Amino acid sequence: MRALRSRHDREIFRLAVPALGALAAQPAYVLADTAIVGHLGKAQLAALGVAATVLGVVGVFNFLQYGTTAQVARASGAGEDETARRLGAQALWLSLGLGFPFAVLVAVLAGPIVSLVGAEGRSAEYAETYLRIVAIGIPSAFVALGGQGFLRGVGDLRAPLVVLVAANLLNVVLVVVLVYGFDLGIRGSAWGTAVAQTCMGLTLTVLVLRRIGAGRADAVPALARRLLSVGKFLLVRTASLIAAFILAGAVASRAGDPTIGAFQIGFQLWLLLALVLDAIAIAGQIIVGRALGAGSREEAYEAGRRMVVLSVALGCVFTLVLLALIDLVPRAFTSDADVLGEARTAWWFLAAMQPIAGAVFALDGILIGAGDGPYLALSMAIAFVAAGGVLVATLVYGWGGAGVWSALTVLVVVRFALMWARFRTRRWLVTGWS
């Protein structure tokens, strides 16, 4: 029985459980809006889909969260508490510095952006209106990323969870009241989301400022540059990952409606399962960063190895569940025979990759916690090229859905191979703060 347990388990689960709650709360904004706006009409629902696609770019900036968590945890482990607090302020300044320009671009270029995505007619008008209003809340959404990153770095995962859940509840109430009570239509949905995001950002800012204390909210260029030096590599990593999914969706759409329909079903389920696996990755960022900051290489390595084992075991559970539900879950999304046929093909790939995906998520969190940004960026870029090659071949030779999911499997397998090789070398075990 001892082989099934580890002294690291308690700490991993203590951090992963609230992280999972916060991760699950984040997509609830779009889900709530979709459920409410969907009853207004096809044009409004299509507009919301276009807007969600555009706003999904915010995910590229998640280095504000992950990079901050790792650096704050490392500083705390090294006993650099003053530095850790000041990093919290730098995360807020960087978030505002990136969030405001992005919001301005979305508001000013809403029309051209919507046209670029491909919306037309009333859907385009609604999407443009939605983006211009919701842009008000974008800076706060960025601040929420940096604020969560700092609080997680100091080991406080409960506060971000409470704030995110409260913001989602506020969003639902506001959208329902504004859309139906005041008959504002999709404008009401946008205003509700903008206000909820603003409240979320302000609340997290207050929590961070309380943590760092008086006199530590000023900008410190050297620390800001440190966050950016890690962040630029995480930016490449995230952008490459998103690009792979966008390219996969584009190839699936060219294979026909049944293929893209099945792809959407499989991809949404993949995202759902990824939330659980990413919670362990966040625990990895904190535990590894703290251990390396304290100079404990063996502690970091053993905790990392345990997280890989737990993530792979969880991935195996997902595989068994997916295989057991292969004839049930797809029917909850569609009754079309062609889509169901394509979904069954995708299902085998989705189920098979889960254990490997579990290892990938854990290793990702471990290397982020270690500040091994250059290798993360390089390995993700290589995996993207490998998957892209399969996607191009799928497009040329007409491999359809099987080709698309083969490409995504290649993406996961190549990432695993490269990151596991890095993990085994122990070169990422760089200790101390400086």
**Per-residue pLDDT tens for 247-288?**
888 888 788 878 878 887 888 788 888 888 899 999 999 999
What number of residues does the chain have? Answer: 434
Closest CA to 44 of 186, 166, 241, 203: 186
Task: Check whether 1 has a pLDDT greater than 60.
Answer: no
**Opening angle at CA 395, ends 239 and 255, nearest 5:** 100
Residue-wise pLDDT tens digits, 98-120 = 999 999 999 999 999 888 766 67
Q: Using CA atoms, how far apart are residues 193 and 136, in angstroms rounded to an integer? A: 9
Residue scoring higher pLDDT (206 or 55): 206
Q: Tell me, what's the pLDDT at 2?
A: 44
One-letter identity of residue 55: L
| Averaged confidence pLDDT in the chain | 90
Per-residue tokens: 337: 């025979």
Q: What is the DSSP letter of 178?
A: I
> 58: number of CA atoms within 13 Å, CB side?
29
The whole-number pLDDT of residue 298 equals 95
Percent of the chain with pLDDT strictly greater than 70: 96
Provide mean pLDDT across the span 33-53. Answer: 76
- Give the global pTM: 0.88
What is the rounded CA–CA span in Å between residue 118 and residue 388? 23
Concatenate the DSSP letters of all residues of 188-232 into one string: HHHHHHHHHHHHHHHHHHHHHHHHH-TT--S--HHHHHHHHHHHH
- pLDDT tens for 277-325 read 899 999 999 999 999 999 999 999 999 999 999 999 999 999 999 999 9
pLDDT in tens, 201-255: 999 999 999 999 878 889 899 999 999 888 899 999 999 998 898 888 888 878 8
Spans of all domains in the chain: 2-219, 251-425
Q: What's the rounded mean pLDDT across residues 177-195? A: 92
133, 93 Cβ separation under 8 angstroms: no
